[in-house]
Amino acid sequence: MKKTQILWLRRDLRLSDQAALVAAAAAGPVIPVYVLDDETPRHRNMGGASRWWLHHSLAALDRQLRPLGSRLILRRGKAAEVIAELAQEAGASAVHCIRHYEPWWRNAERALADKVDLVRHDGNYLMPMGSVRTGSGAPYKIYTPFWRELSKHMPPPEPLPAPDSIPSPQNWPHSDSLEDWALLPDKPNWAVGMAEMWTPGEYGAQTRLADFSGRAAQYDEKRNFPSIEGTSFLSPHLHFGEITPAQAWHAHRTAGGSVEVFLKEIVWREYAQNVVFQYPDYGSKNARDNFDAFPWRDVTKQDVAADLKAWQAGRTGYPIVDAGMRELWATGWMHNRVRMITASFLIKHILIDWREGEKWFWDTLCDADYASNAVNWQWTAGTGVDSNMFVRIMAPLSQSEKFDAGDYIRKWVPELADLDDPYVHDPDEFGRKPADYPAKIIGHKEARERALAAYARIKGQS
């Protein structure tokens, strides 16, 4: 008789294009298991928005498994220890998993491999991390040559179909109750808007993928306009592995038009993971050492803490910034162009360390991916190995007009809902600011001059 196999699931909550599941099912009866591990990641535990998503994604996956003769086993604790104990309990001969590259999961995989026969499979990225290298054999640090090299190996292999059935063990091990994990917010339930916008799980991911098909060819033309649906909305589904980059690539690679820009965004996600593969502490440490001396404002001081709170709450007096931050709180997501504007505002307008913004996004984004979050924040701050120059300071008011964000602002900042263009972009300037909307916490010119003066203090340092 074939021996039982453990399928260890993390950010790969799907049945299709699931190499670890295919291999496990070929080897014997399969026990799919998810471990809620708040110990291994330490200070990188999932934030509130991600935990909301996880609850619904796990419930969706279990519903998928049941008709196939399987089910999802839930356990809680330190993953390497819990999986090893479960393997012994079930008499399993091997544990199958998709490789994960976050530093804490790499450590957990090494620890587990010392205790069981751990069979690791690729599948969450277009190519394994570390396989895209320069002619000299070094990993890439800059995005553009990384894209050029990786694109030579595209398209990726055809995605694997979902199985029609999954062999099950004679006896199922005990499982925790998902409800007992208390992943959902309560008193108050701040996730109402998230529930209205998202359908976590593989079905929701496939629906989003199909919906984007009609817009993929116009991606470059529409993606920067927050008032229209120009983006794919796939990022949370990709983060939780409900869909793979290979599936997204094959679904849209022949769409024509400007779809290559969308494919480059998928590769940017690969690039970010490539960077973190080289620099595991990228989420907390400047890649450029001279920024260690940057004179960030001290968030322990009352006035600075008030500015940070105003940014978090969407009360800065800059409508495009406030709309983005309120969208984030309500839906667990923010339009990509607006992410850049809000991040730049925190860093350069109110001179608060990028790590404060990274922490806030980590807690509030459904797609809070360690690599993408860290790389994008360091890109905006100018601190990354490949990043924007600090002196390029985005002007949020002109960005708002340039990308026609009026309807977006009116949706998310109801105090300004009755203002027409151009007043809605800068009600202060036109003397149209409603009484219940805050004045700017700092003027753009003043903020720019202060930021450039701060940067001058570290310019030239190595």
Amino acid, res. 394: M
Question: What's the CA gap between 437 and 440, in Å, rounded?
Answer: 9
Q: Is residue 405 helix, strand or coil? A: coil
The maximal CA–CA distance of the chain, rounded, in angstroms, is 79
For the beta carbon of residue 177, count every other beta carbon within 10 angstroms.
7
Are 324 and 338 in contact by the 8 Å Cβ rule? The answer is: yes
pLDDT < 50 positions in the chain: 462
User: What strands, in cross-sheet order, belong to the sheet with 118-121?
Assistant: 73-76, 30-36, 5-9, 94-98, 118-121
Are 232 and 243 in contact by the 8 Å Cβ rule? The answer is: no
Question: What's the CA gap between 201 and 83, in Å, rounded?
Answer: 23
- Report cis status (omega within 30 of 0) of the bond before 427: no
Q: How many angstroms separate the first and last alpha carbons of the chain? A: 63
Question: What's the CA gap between 424 and 54, in Å, rounded?
Answer: 37
Give the per-residue pLDDT at 433.
96
Using DSSP bridges, classify how beta strands 30-36 and 118-121 pair: parallel, antiparallel or unpaired.
unpaired
Are 76 and 104 in contact by the 8 Å Cβ rule? The answer is: no
Residues making up the chain, counted from first to last: 462
* Structural domains in the chain, sorted by start: 5-123 (3.40.50.620), 125-158+200-278 (1.25.40.80), 289-456 (1.10.579.10)
Count how many Cα atoms sit within 13 Å of the Cα of residue 166 in the half-sphere of its side chain: 29
Q: Is the pTM of this model over 0.85?
A: yes
Give the per-residue pLDDT at 459.
84
Q: Is residue 442 helix, strand or coil? A: coil
Q: Is residue 308 helix, strand or coil? A: helix
The CA R_g of the chain, rounded to the nearest whole Å, is 23
Q: Which residue has the tokens 């012994």?
A: 88
For CA atoms 112, 118, 123, 128, the dihedral sign is: positive
Q: Is residue 75 helix, strand or coil? A: strand
